[in-house]
Amino acid sequence: MISLKQLTYALAVQETRHFKRAAELCSVSQSALSTAIAELESQLGTQLFERDNKKVLITPVGEQVLAKARNIKLELDDLYQVSHQQHTPLSYPMSVGVIPTIGPYLLPKVLPSVRQAYPGFQMTIEEAESRVLVEKVRSGALDTAVIALPYPTDGLHCFEFWAENLFLVTDRDNPLAKRKKVKAEQLEDANLLLLRDGHCLKDHALAACHMQASDMDRSLQGASLYTLIQMVAGKIGSTLVPAMALDQLLAGSSELAAVPLAEPGPHRRIAFITRLNYAAVADIEVLRGVFRQRLAGSAASATAAAALGP
Domains of the chain are: 4-84 (1.10.10.10), 94-163+267-308 (3.40.190.10), 166-260 (3.40.190.10)
139 has a pLDDT exceeding 80: yes
Which of the four pLDDT bands, split at 50, 70 and 90, describes residue 292? very high
Mean pLDDT over the full length of the chain:
87
User: Which conformational region is residue 309 in: left (phi greater than 0), alpha (psi within -120 to 50 degrees), or beta?
Assistant: left
Which residue in 280, 283, 278 sits closest to 75, CA to CA? 278
C-alpha 225/C-alpha 196 separation (Å) is 10
Which residue in 111, 65, 247 sits closest to 169, CA to CA? 247
85 has a pLDDT exceeding 60: no
| pLDDT of amino acid 253 | 79
Check the CA dihedral 269-273-277-280 and report its sign: negative
Which residue in 81, 3, 78 sits closest to 36, CA to CA? 3
Q: Assess contact for 292 and 277: CB atoms under 8 A.
A: no
C-alpha 3/C-alpha 36 separation (Å) is 9
Quick one: what percent of the chain has pLDDT higher than 90? 51
CA dihedral 228, 226, 268, 247 (to 10 degrees): -120
Which segment of 37-41, 77-81, 158-162, 271-275 scores lowest on mean pLDDT?
Answer: 77-81
For the whole model, what pTM was predicted? 0.74
196 has a pLDDT exceeding 60: yes
Which residue in 308, 199, 221 sits closest to 261, CA to CA? 308
80 has a pLDDT exceeding 70: no
Which segment of 42-51, 157-166, 258-267, 296-305 scores lowest on mean pLDDT?
Answer: 296-305
| pLDDT of amino acid 307 | 42
| pLDDT of amino acid 309 | 40
